[in-house]
Structure 1
Amino acid sequence: MTDKISILISHSIFEAGPPPARPPQGQQNYGPQFQGANNQTQQPFFQYSQCTGRKKALCIGINYFGQSAELKGCINDARNIERFLCQKYGYQLNDIVVLTDDQKDPRSIPTKENMLRAMHWLVQDAQPNDSLFFHYSGHGGQTKDLDGDEEDGYDEVIYPVDFKQTQHIVDDEMHDIMVKPLPPGCRLTAIFDSCHSGSALDLPYIYSTEGKIKEPNLAAEAGQGLLSAVSSYARGDMGGVFSSMSGLLKTATGSNQKASALSKRTKTSPADVISWSGCKDSQTSADAVEAGTATGAMSYAFITALTQQPQQSYQQLLGSLRGILREKYSQKPQLSSSHPMDTNYMFIC
């Protein structure tokens, strides 16, 4: 996060109109069909969550007290999101874990060990139509990508309060813990209010404000290789994923296309995972002040947008977040998902 700056929202940015439709139920197929095991016709699929099952949340806010890059609003963000989820979306306090560096219980301090343990708790026993929520407000950064799935050559990272002793947490690890175990139809909504967080959960589909996937869709070009890999991922067959990798990589030219293709074939999931981030991978996020209270700009914008208009489509909410932050900041919030999605559906959690 960068220096604190006051946010002033003097007018509503929403236009009246009919509410968007809720996401459909059942399995959603996409992409061309292919022949799978036993000559069975298969097709990649995912399932939207109806968010009618159990609700669990993990909120992490780190101010880094006494450290050289101390922040002001991150603990407030975690508490504000906790309150917002309870008041607006029916979450219960008993089903929310909050890690902040102002607590006395050592288990509630956002150390690397506690953060990873809490991430595992969040997704434990997840079921279809559950609604899980992950919020992080703190420092973010980048480190050299070692597996070739990042177009810019860098993995995104977040920093526990004890990062100087234990190092950062890389996006690949967060994806492995919080995305891969989820069944089809289980929702995980993530918010990263941190610098360089555009792809902090390693979700392969990133959307523009027009609701379109930003990266070129290589599925049609790659053919059965990509689709077989997606199917293998859905079955948990990582051997199948990597065995069909070479054909796909041959269809891509240039490191950016190869990284995009690798990300899609190894990080696509049939679960319903959505990530809202405060900025692009190349940008910083502001540690702001609103009404005299320190807050992260992205956390404030998320609460403000959905308080002013609770029924928004994914595309509308992305536009709302950018509209709020555009008043004072250059950072551009990002929307990404674990599967190709229709952004005209209503955001629910």
Structure 2
Amino acid sequence: MFEGADHLQHQLFYQYSQCNGKKKALCIGINYFGQSAELKGCINDARNVSQFLQEVWGYRQDDIVMLTDDATNPRQIPTKDNIIQAMRWLVNGAQPNDSLFFHYSGHGGQTKDLDGDEADGYDEVIYPVDFDFAGHLVDDMMHDILVKPLPPGCRLTAIFDSCHSGSVLDLPYIYSTEGKIKEPNLAAEAGQGLLSAVTSYARGDMGGVFSSVSGLLKTATGGGQRAEKKARETKTSPADVITWSGCKDSQTSADTFEAGQSTGAMSYAFMTVLRQNRQQSYQQLLLNIRAILKAKYSQKPQLSSSHPIDTSILFIC
């Protein structure tokens, strides 16, 4: 059972998209020019992904919306309002077998979870260019806009090349490199929480200590399992939604330099692997993306979905 957009309980029914309907894409790249945490590769990522979608998967340029903070058109600046409007455009009129693609490269973070669907007690967020006064975008809201309206058999592929992005679209099924759905590991969670608390204390990061200890308490009281159960009840979707995230919720994603230009490590790895070979299963793609990044970075890209998937089938978008 899952909770639908009408907030009623429905029997779980889903179907894979054939991806032979309409194709639409939204690519967002934010460098935060002149801000204290300016990035270098995010606009390049958005442009590269747009080109990749056209060359490898047959998307039309007219069906790709770009939001970058070097745009001259005010509607194409990645403000919070423009991002929300563009997200709504992406899913508007979606039909079974349509293929929608969402790419975000920019800053990500976490904020306290208020509705009890996060095992670690924190929601994931992304930061629009005007976040200083407009605020961030929380995963619950992005899920409501991008996932809930989609019908069964409609594909949305999302890439988040940002920090703390493991579950940033609130898809409740996360996969291991063996292609299996990850289940809560209470002993591992407790150990990781204790390690994080010690590391934060050593750095003098008392906020990190509080966060880690809060996570430990949640684990010890079974809160993580309750959160996971709630997430699957309220965030499972009959639509065919996939997220490729640059790292785990607890990790950061690298803004780096590859192939002669500034780029996000996840965006670079995703495109590199698929340009080498389009014919890959979900599991193979996850393994190959991780293999590229493992040599240079500590981040571990994540694959998650809106319903259970067979990771041995071919990835298409």
Q: TM-score, normalised by structure 1?
A: 0.77
Corresponding residue of 1:148: 116
Instruction: Pick one of 114, 117, 121 that aligns with 2:89.
Output: 121
Corresponding residue of 1:298: 266
- CA RMSD in angstroms comes to 1.8
Q: How does 1:1-349 map to 2 (within 5 A)?
A: 44-215=12-183, 254-349=222-317
| 1:216, distance to aligned residue in structure 2 (A) | 5.3
- The answer to which of 315-324 and 42-51 deviates more is 42-51
CA contact (8 A) 2:96 2:152 kept: yes
SS of aligned partner of 1:46: coil
| 1:292, distance to aligned residue in structure 2 (A) | 2.4
- The superposition leaves residues 125-172 of structure 1 with CA deviations (integer Å, 9 ceiling, x where unpaired) of 000000000000000000000000000000000000000010000000
What is the distance in 2 between the residues matched to 1:91 and 1:273? 18
Alignment-mate amino acid for residue 83 of structure 2: M
Alignment-mate amino acid for residue 198 of structure 1: G
**Unaligned residue ranges in structure 2 (runs of 5+):** 2-8, 186-220
Shift >2 Å, 4+ stretches: none
What is the distance in 1 between the residues matched to 2:307 and 2:17? 13
What is the distance in 1 between the residues matched to 2:225 and 2:250? 18
What is the distance in 1 between the residues matched to 2:162 and 2:222? 29
- The superposition leaves residues 213-271 of structure 1 with CA deviations (integer Å, 9 ceiling, x where unpaired) of 00259xxxxxxxxxxxxxxxxxxxxxxxxxxxxxxxxxxx7100000000000000000
CA contact (8 A) 2:78 2:129 kept: yes
What is the distance in 2 between the residues matched to 1:126 and 1:148? 30
**Unaligned residue ranges in structure 1 (runs of 5+):** 1-28, 30-36, 218-252
| 1:300, distance to aligned residue in structure 2 (A) | 0.1
Q: Which has the larger radius of gyration?
A: 1
- The superposition leaves residues 297-349 of structure 1 with CA deviations (integer Å, 9 ceiling, x where unpaired) of 00000000101111100000000110000010000000000001100000000
SS of aligned partner of 1:343: coil
Alignment-mate amino acid for residue 214 of structure 1: K
CA contact (8 A) 2:26 2:90 kept: yes
Alignment-mate amino acid for residue 49 of structure 1: S
Q: Percent identity?
A: 76
| 1:45, distance to aligned residue in structure 2 (A) | 1.7
How many residues matched? 277
What is the distance in 1 between the residues matched to 2:57 and 2:29? 20
| 1:291, distance to aligned residue in structure 2 (A) | 2.6
What is the distance in 1 between the residues matched to 2:44 and 2:121? 33
| 1:290, distance to aligned residue in structure 2 (A) | 1.0
SS of aligned partner of 1:132: strand
Alignment-mate amino acid for residue 285 of structure 1: S
Structure 2 CA distance for partners of 1:70 and 1:216, relative to 1, 3 Å: closer
Alignment-mate amino acid for residue 48 of structure 1: Y
Structure 2 CA distance for partners of 1:103 and 1:43, relative to 1, 3 Å: closer
Structure 2 CA distance for partners of 1:216 and 1:286, relative to 1, 3 Å: closer
What is the distance in 2 between the residues matched to 1:312 and 1:216? 28
Alignment-mate amino acid for residue 285 of structure 2: L
Alignment-mate amino acid for residue 165 of structure 1: F
What is the distance in 2 between the residues matched to 1:168 and 1:332? 24
SS of aligned partner of 1:99: strand
- The superposition leaves residues 86-115 of structure 1 with CA deviations (integer Å, 9 ceiling, x where unpaired) of 000010011000000001100000000000
What is the distance in 1 between the residues matched to 2:260 and 2:282? 30
SS of aligned partner of 1:44: coil
